[in-house]
Structure formats: C-alpha cells, structure tokens
Amino acid sequence: CLLPWLVAASLGAQDQGSPPGRVARLSFTQGNVSFQPSGESQWSTASPNYTVSTGDRLYTDQGARVELEVGPFAVRMSQTTDLTLVNLNDQLMQLGLGQGSVRVTVYELPQSNSVEIDTPNGALTIQQPGSYRVDIDPNQGSTLVSVNGGSLEVTGGGISQPVNSGQAAQLTGTGPIQVNLVALPNPDDFDQWCASRDRRIESYSSRQYVNPYTPGAEDLDQYGQWNTVPQYGPVWYPAGVAAGWVPYRVGHWAWVEPWGWTWVETEPWGFCPFHYGRWAFIGSRWGWMPGPVAVVPFYSPALVAFVGGSGFSVGVSFGGGFGLAAWFPLGPSEPFIPWYHYTPTYLRQVNITNVRNVTVINNYINTTNINVTNIKYQYKTVGVTAVSGDVLRSGQPVAAHIVRIPPEQIAKAQVIAHPAIAPAQTAVFGGRAPVKAPPVRAAVTAPPRVAVQVTRGGQPAERPTPEALAARSAPPPAEAHTPAPAVPERSPAPATNRVTPAPTSTRAGPPAARPAFVTKTPPPERDVPFAQHETALQQHPGRPLEPQQEQNLRQGRPAGPPQDREVLPHEAAPKPAPRPEPKPAPKPK
C-alpha cells in the first residue's frame, strides 16, 4: 500500500514558491457551516467541493458536521467546532482546534509526512496511521485526546508524552500543562458517523483506476460507471447529467490563493474529475480519465484553457463592463499551463501525474518552458463555455448565465493565459456574500512554549454529568446562530460522554481574532486581507500575486511588479468606451 507514495516521491518535493500539490476538499457539510478565508475577518457560508487551503477556517453550528479530505487523511468536525487549517503542504497537515470536537483518520502516513493537531493546551503529533479524536472544553480550559488506533505524541516546553492505541489523555492548564491518562470514552453518534465515512472511503471499487489518495475518488462508484475505451483505457462516465452536459459548466469560479481562479463544481461528485486527470468527448458524451493509478496526482485549480483575443467578442451582446470570459476542458494529451506562479519542476509534476500518455506531454514540456506552438486543442470548438466577465468576477453560477458564441468567432479565438478579470470580494468568499460571524471564541492567551507535567496512572478523570453536558452544549441565547435544517439521515444525537463546548462571540473587525495554539511546527506567516491585494491585482487582472509580491504586502510595502513571464499571450483588460470629444464652439459671424 506504500506504492502510490513511493512513486510520487520520485517526482521530487514541492518547489520553493510553487503551490502545494495537496489540498483539502470540503467533501461533506450538514447544517450551518461558516467559512473564513485566510487573512479575512468576515465569514461566509461554506460551499461543498470547495478547495480549502492554508489559513482557512471553518465553524460548525449546532447540529452541523463537516468532512475534509486531504490525500491519505480525513478530518471530521462535530457541532460547535472551530477549526483552522494552520498549514497544508505536500509534507505537513497542521490543524488548529479552538473549540469543539474533531476526529482525524490517517489511512497512511507517508515517509517524511507529518500530521499535527494544535490545541490551546498542547501540540499533538500523530506517529502512526490510525484514528484520533480531540475534544476541547473552552469552559474548563482542557483538551481530551482519544487514540482509538495508532499513537501520537503530546508536546510542549520540550517535554513529550506518548498516547498509544486504546488510551486517552486529558490536558489541562497552559503553563505548565498537566497530562493525565484517563479512561477511553465510549463511542458516540459522532464516532459512529465518522466510522461510516471511513468505510466509504476505504471500500470503493474505483480505487483500481484512481490513486486512492485523490480527494473525491470514492464518489465515482455512486455517481457513474467505468468503461474501457481502446484509445484511452478505463474511462469514467457521469450518470444522470443533462443532455448536452459539458465539463466546467455546472458550477462557479472562486478566487483561492495562491492559485487564483479556481473551479467549484456543483454536482456532489464534482471535485476529483475537475482538479485531476483529463476529460474526453467520446462518441456523444464526455468521459473522464485519471492519471496513472500508482502516482499521486498534483492538484490543479481547473484543468482548462481560456480563450479570447482580438475580435473574440465582436457581435456578442453581454453586460457588466468586464468583457467575456470563456474556457474549455483540456484533452488527454494537452498540457496544463498554470496562470499562477510556478517553477519548472512544478510544471512537470502537475502535468505528468494527471495524464497517462506521458510521452506526448513531454513533447510540450522541457526543463524551462512549454512549447505552445504545436498544441492542437481538441475541444476548443465543442466544449467552450462563455459568460459575461462579471459572472466570473463575482463568482456567480455559470450555467444560468451562458453566452452563446457564434462558431466563426470561436474558430478565431486564441488560447490566452487567463481572462483579464480581477476578482470581486464575493469570489474570495467562494461566491457567497459575507454573513454574520458565528459564535466562535475570541483569541485566548497561551504562551508559545510551555512545560509539560506528566501524571501517569491514577484514577480516570471524573466524567461530566448529563446535566453539565447539556448546559455546556447550549449556545448563548443572544449570540447563537439559527442553524439550517440538518439532513434527516445525518441528524446527530447529543453526546452522552463527551464535553461539547459552549461557544461565545468573537471580537469584531480586522485583524481576525483567532484562537492561540501551542504548536510544535512554527506556522506560516498570515495572509494579508483581500482589500490589500485589490490595487495590485488590478495592475495585472486575472493573475494572482507572486510570492515576492505577497511578501512585500506582509511587510507593509507596495506589492511591486510581477516577475514571471507568461507563456501564452495575455488578453488586455477591457477598456471603457472612449468619451466623445467635445465639439468646438461655433465661431461668431
């Protein structure tokens, strides 16, 4: 079972400055789930199939649940839980739990990979594959760690304490921490739900065609079927789609750093086939082909090419003042050319891990660039989707706003680097308008390093009574959200042996108030808010800022000009209609 990771390791580690090849997929939401992008102080409603990355934060209201898929890991949140993705790259998943309950399943722990769960009391580093639950009671200032399988290490102040399979530990205090081994709690409804989700991920049959650590691969069994096509090999066809269905049309665009324009598909299965592999139009329908099953694929924000160029929108009526945005899916032998900063190694990884015919891709890619002169795009004429630029800019649903382009104009269109359209704030929030902040706790005080006092043996910690649990589970009457109705078959029952924290309101205004965690791995620098990006993004619309530009903003300086050279031609930003010149006053007779 190590083969997928060993093969991927031969491709090299993540390049300095390139985006990671691993992301978190928001694969399941129930009830009212709030989302806060990295660097922001406002919140929006979370969208399934959204790409969650470093610095993003999620909160589940009463009766809500969330699942995140991250390569060989799964992270699940119970109700009234505040979770930050502190850091996520190709070697590390670092979570920050401010309150509530999470269960993390590590199906495999690849060599040189780390999984860390930071809490206000201590840092938890997972040592082996297994199942781990963490509960934080903010009222008591304690953390309960349960290891149902595997082992982890509790650290703080340079002292460590192992917690092994079948054990639980209660962490209290912030300086020093006290670690008490306690009885492992009995499973509750949240644990049973997590176990059912694990079985779904571990037992799907499509793993014979798709690398098992591709987020969303388990959805393929339920929502489509596989056929073998002589030209392409195993091909997956989605079931139940409408006549004339085209990839990258039923969904919307969002602006997700550091990739910029990122596709969010609406169908429940719509993650894996839109960020990995390639689509092909076979006979009269579209089918999807994954890359080699033995190689972990690199994530892409959308495997498409954009079109535009001189005269593309002539004769087409559209509004919004932002021109047209148009794109089509890449075919099985066509290279993906990122519209964001990347290095030569990244360019190779994101391409050859997502296609089966590596030889053809290698003909386009060398160690420094892409040869774009001989690319014959198959689906420019049969798979183009076009909308007003304002639909792209604001993250609106695409299917309801499609603009029909005459075939002769599509034939004239050229493939461009990206639309010259900078995002609006709604695109940064996943196409959703900002909402009232959920009742998360404000930042708590905890020193970055604390001593750990270990208590071995002794009597198990006293468990809370049902009355105490009910009191702690109730939200403050003045601050509580009104949760959306829960999905009937997923309605959770109140826990009977876990502490469910009572949320309180967060401090308002920038910078965003975040819980303070005891960490083992230093977290990355915080992103700056989108408002500080806007001026720089307008200088080169449609292209996210490069690493040195981001660093300049963090240091309070202007972003400065981009340094990367775009391989494809860049479409000029739409210019406003020229004002009519004033007529000269008539000469007196």
Cβ atoms 248, 263 nearer than 8 A: yes
The predicted pLDDT at position 69 comes to: 98
Pairing verdict, β 44-45 and 33-36: antiparallel
Residue type at position 83: L
Residue 164, beta-bridge partner list: 151
Residue found by looking up tokens 């900063």 in the block:
341
Cβ count near 327 (within 10 Å):
28
Select from 15, 89, 12 the least CA-distant residue to 353: 12
The predicted pLDDT at position 491 comes to: 32
The predicted pLDDT at position 33 comes to: 97
Cα gap 168→134, rounded to integer Å: 10
What 3-state DSSP class applies to 350?
A: helix
Structure-block tokens of residue 443 = 């930042």
Pairing verdict, β 452-455 and 177-182: parallel
Cα gap 564→450, rounded to integer Å: 43
pLDDT in tens, 493-552: 333 333 323 322 222 234 455 678 999 999 999 899 999 999 999 999 999 999 999 999
Cα gap 113→91, rounded to integer Å: 4
The predicted pLDDT at position 50 comes to: 98
Q: Which residues of the chain have pLDDT under 50?
A: 1-13, 314, 317, 319, 443-511, 576-580
Cα gap 278→23, rounded to integer Å: 19
The predicted pLDDT at position 320 comes to: 54
Cβ count near 382 (within 10 Å):
12
The predicted pLDDT at position 247 comes to: 98
Structure-block tokens of residue 528 = 């700056």
Tell me the Ramachandran region of residue 424: left when phi exceeds 0, alpha when psi lies from -120 to 50, beta otherwise: beta
